[in-house]
Copies of this chain bind each other. A is one copy, B any other.
Amino acid sequence: MQNNAHAMDRLFEAVEEKGPVCLGLDTDISYIPENFAARFSTISEKLLSFNKAIIDATLDIAAAYKPQIAYYEACGLEGLRAFAQTLEYIRKKGAIAVSDVKRGDIAKTAGMYARAHFTGDFETDIITVNPYMGMDTLEPFFPYLRKGKGLFALIATSNKGAPDIEGIKTESGEKVYQLAGRMIQRAGSAFIGERGYSAIGGVVGCTDVQETKFIRQALPGVFFLIPGYGAQGGAAEDIGAYFSGGNGGIVNSSRGILLARKKPEFSGLNFDEAARAETLRMREELRCHIK
């Protein structure tokens, strides 16, 4: 499955087959049950083994896996070894890996990031990028998009500081995130796959349903990565409006799944069984709101 097919075609097909859940591997070492962690001696082994168990339990019901690099970086070189091995495992299993790294830099530096995450130890399928410095920061990634790699560029997030910059109205009356969305769509129009989506997708948070509808209509062809479900408070009703014909987006949950064993309804289950149960529950809830 480590093929050269268009990244968003593969993601589209994964959503058709497995549903729209993106499983966020924001694996804080404190999330790992003590009795499980005790079986391994290094931090790297603990993180990797936990991730493998989660992946094995959800392979048929998760569209993609999204390790957030910050959690691994926080454990230093040992942590990054687990990050690399987790990516290798996801891809070996034929699943799609989205590395949440939110890189954004210019020219040669961006080229180095492309090399870092699309080849070698940290090879992944799709990475998240930050467009603040401008659209030229995306260009060094373009040659890789033609070889089956993809990007999710930050457009709109739903954290409390999002109005500071993303939400500011420009002179022309649109908000900064709308402008960013348009520019990302334009850049992506050269990379449309067979399913109608560009290899350059966008990160769009759970906002109110009106704004969500606006974003979906304004940005056809942009596949969405939607964070903020569950632990961060995003609601399935609002998320539904980001989808078109039941596809075109993946919805991320991290803590909600990794720590599902702590929910009363899953008590008695192992962490991986609880993760599967929560992924199934989330998928059903989303399907009720996605037309």
Which of A's residues lie within 8 Å of B, judged by CB?
Answer: 26, 28, 68, 70-71, 73-77, 80-81, 84, 102-110, 112-113, 115-117, 120-122, 130-137, 154, 157, 159-166, 168-171, 173, 176, 179-180, 183
Contact = CB atoms under 8 A, between A and B. Distances in A.
Contact of A122 (B73, B159, B176): B73
Given A73-B116, A84-B76, A120-B76, A137 B109 contact: no
Contacts of A169: 170-171
B121 A164 contact: no
A74 B115 contact: yes
Given A84-B76, A103-B70, A171-B168, A160 B133 contact: no
B113 A134 contact: no
A179 B161 contact: no
A131 B165 contact: yes
Nearest to A128: B105
Contact of A77 (B71, B80, B108, B173): B80
A204 to B, nearest CB: 13
A117 B75 CA distance: 10
A127 B81 CA distance: 22
A74 B113 contact: yes
Nearest to A109: B70
Contact of A160 (B134, B160, B165): B134
Contacts of A170: 168-171, 176
B159 A107 contact: yes
Contacts of A165: 131-134, 176, 179-180, 183
A116 B171 contact: no
21 contacts: A26-B109, A28-B108, A71-B112, A73-B112, A74-B112, A74-B115, A76-B84, A77-B81, A80-B80, A104-B132, A106-B159, A106-B161, A130-B133, A131-B132, A131-B165, A132-B154, A134-B162, A135-B161, A135-B164, A136-B161, A165-B179
A108 B173 CA distance: 33
A167 to B, nearest CB: 8
A73 to B, nearest CB: 4
In the A-B complex, list the 3 residue pairs whose CB atoms are closest, starting with the nearest. A134-B161, A76-B121, A136-B161
B159 A113 contact: no
A81 B80 CA distance: 10
A122 B163 contact: no
Contacts of A171: 168-171, 173
Nearest to A255: B108
Contacts of A108: 26, 28
